[in-house]
């Protein structure tokens, strides 16, 4: 390894340590921080973000990159590492220091305002904060690439190489088959919802969550489970990846599948292994947010909602539920948690309608940054999207445009990652089943270790060494193709619904 690479790694690790300190402050804000601490916490986060930015734009990084890029004897790892550092450095140097601290403080205040507005179902109270975050993201896009469409710039931050047009094309294909499958399901007798209305104490739900974390092999020595308004996963270090969930007393599957979803994220983070030389560097980051979502969605849905999985684990869950679980067996439970029905809440949506929730958000974000939609008109636009795409009426802001935390953080362009993650997950799963044809039998026997082992070797270990398109090509032998998700859905739901 060249001495310039070694020095670059030293500087990179300093930046990573500061970023992890910021993540710890953010985790505390969402879990245990007392409400009145928000103003000083916002200042703390702004300070940390400012320090991280100073480290990220150190001129020495640019000099080291230039020296390394002139060399012809770089190793493959060095080339991959330099590519990732160059990408991030070229972004960071475009942001003024004052913008970084201003953005961090505004985002922290905005998240707190969102949580309170959601509790009260009061969009008007959140509106000024959201307007500020939209404006700051316009500025961010202008700093990064003033000649490009703002939304294209923001999308690229989460899924490198993507644009509004490219995602719209994929979503057009996906929307067509989602609507077709939904219509077929509506034309046959419906599955009973046996889970809603069963009151399950949060303490019992926590026991179920911890049981599932153990089943999925989430290492509790390297993470923990807590409660937050919106479930999330955060990385505070290579051996400290934490998750949260939320407990809905009259619908226990909410916490069950949120825990599996977030565990999938955590397993990815904990499985990234670029080698000891690059530990704690940008090469230990995820390939993209859509790849990240593919891991969470695979564990939550493809594994977690399968009959094979519950053949082994339903008895244990039933025992924990006690009286609340009476009247359900494994088959009826699996059908219930796979019931397809247009609904209000994205995080609790079934696999078929979930993509329509994402498309609604994508179309609203597109309009926001095209200038054809004002922040004040978001509730009306949201309600209309849900009426036309899902056929449901939104009763209030809490279950409408205030349901997600993302916009309060300024994460515009993130939502498409969820739907793209479904596509990646289905394609990865198809490749896995070809290589391990008895995988369902293994899962039915209570053994998910082969799933984790395969993902570790094929996806996790690489970190950001490959671009998303390169990774899916390497793992599956073909570029991303929405057809694999369609095949998965049609096969699964034709069995459940008999169409």
Q: What is the pLDDT of residues 44-92, one digit of tens each?
A: 999 999 999 999 999 999 999 999 999 999 999 999 999 999 999 999 9
Tell me the pLDDT tens digit for each residue of 154-203.
999 999 989 999 999 999 999 999 999 999 999 999 999 999 999 999 99
- Inform me whether the pLDDT recorded for 348 exceeds 90: no
123 closest CA partner among 347, 374, 369 = 374
Q: Is residue 323 among the annotated active site residues?
A: no
Average of pLDDT values for 372-380? 98
Q: pTM of the full predicted structure?
A: 0.93
Give the tokens for residue 70.
Answer: 């002139």
- Inform me whether the pLDDT recorded for 243 exceeds 90: yes
**Cβ 105 vs Cβ 48: under 8 Å:** no
**pLDDT grade for 460, boundaries at 50, 70 and 90:** very high
**Cβ 464 vs Cβ 282: under 8 Å:** yes
215 closest CA partner among 434, 8, 452 = 452
Q: Which residue has the tokens 């036309």?
A: 388
Task: Give long-range contacts, CB 8 A cutoff, 24+ apart: 140-146.
Answer: 140/95, 140/99, 140/103, 140/410, 141/369, 143/94, 143/95, 143/96, 143/99, 144/91, 144/94
**pLDDT grade for 381, boundaries at 50, 70 and 90:** very high
Q: Where are the domains of the chain?
A: 3-147, 164-497
- What's the CATH number of domain 164-497, 3.40.50.300, 3.40.50.720, 1.10.1370.30, 1.10.600.10? 1.10.1370.30
pLDDT for 362:
98
**pLDDT grade for 338, boundaries at 50, 70 and 90:** very high
Catalytic residue among 262, 269, 351, 486: 262
pLDDT for 393:
98
Pairwise CA distance, residues 80 & 463, whole Å:
10
- Inform me whether the pLDDT recorded for 340 exceeds 90: yes
């Amino acid at each position: 390894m060249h001495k310039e690479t070694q020095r670059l790694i030293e500087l990179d690790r300093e930046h990573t340590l500061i970023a992890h300190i910021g993540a710890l402050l953010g985790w505390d804000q969402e879990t245990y921080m007392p409400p009145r601490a928000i103003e000083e916490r916002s200042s703390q986060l702004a300070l940390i973000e400012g320090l991280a930015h100073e480290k990220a734009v150190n001129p020495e990084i640019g000099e080291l990159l230039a020296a390394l890029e002139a060399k012809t004897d770089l190793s493959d790892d060095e080339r991959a590492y330099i590519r990732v550092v160059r990408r991030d450095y070229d972004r960071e140097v475009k942001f003024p220091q004052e913008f970084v601290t201003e953005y961090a403080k505004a985002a922290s205040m905005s998240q707190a305002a969102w949580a309170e507005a959601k509790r009260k179902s009061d969009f008007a109270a959140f509106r000024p904060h959201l307007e500020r975050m939209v404006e700051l993201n316009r500025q961010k896009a202008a700093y990064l690439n003033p000649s490009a469409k703002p939304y294209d710039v923001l999308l690229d931050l989460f899924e490198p190489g993507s644009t509004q047009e490219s995602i719209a094309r994929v979503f057009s294909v996906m929307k067509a088959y989602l609507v077709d499958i939904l219509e077929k399901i509506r034309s046959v007798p419906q599955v009973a919802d046996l889970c809603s209305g069963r009151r399950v104490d949060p303490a019992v739900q926590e026991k179920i969550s911890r049981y599932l974390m153990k089943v999925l092999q989430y290492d509790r020595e390297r993470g923990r489970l807590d409660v937050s308004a919106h479930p999330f996963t955060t990385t505070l270090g290579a051996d400290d990846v934490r998750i949260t969930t939320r407990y809905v007393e009259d619908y226990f599957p909410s916490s069950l599948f949120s825990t599996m979803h977030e565990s999938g994220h955590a397993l990815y983070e904990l499985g990234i292994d670029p080698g000891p030389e690059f530990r704690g560097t940008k090469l230990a980051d995820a390939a993209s947010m859509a790849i990240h979502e593919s891991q969470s969605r695979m564990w939550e849905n493809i594994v977690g909602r399968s009959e094979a999985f519950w053949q082994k684990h339903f008895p244990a869950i039933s025992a924990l539920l006690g009286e609340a679980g009476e009247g359900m067996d494994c088959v009826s439970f699996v059908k219930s948690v796979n019931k397809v029905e247009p609904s209000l809440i994205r995080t609790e949506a079934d696999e078929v309608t979930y993509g329509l929730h994402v498309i609604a958000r994508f179309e609203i974000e597109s309009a926001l940054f095209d200038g054809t939609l004002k922040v004040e008109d978001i509730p009306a636009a949201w309600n209309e999207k849900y009426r036309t795409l899902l056929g449901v009426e939104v009763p209030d802001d809490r279950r409408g445009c205030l349901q997600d935390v993302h916009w309060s953080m300024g994460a515009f362009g993130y939502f498409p990652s969820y739907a793209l993650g479904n596509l990646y997950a289905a394609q990865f799963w198809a490749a896995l089943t070809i290589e391990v044809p008895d995988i369902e039998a293994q899962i039915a026997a209570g053994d998910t270790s082969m799933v984790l082992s395969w993902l570790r070797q094929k996806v996790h270990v690489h970190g950001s060494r490959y671009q998303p398109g390169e990774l899916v090509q390497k793992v599956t032998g073909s570029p991303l193709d929405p057809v694999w998700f369609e095949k998965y859905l049609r096969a699964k739901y034709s069995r459940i619904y008999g169409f």
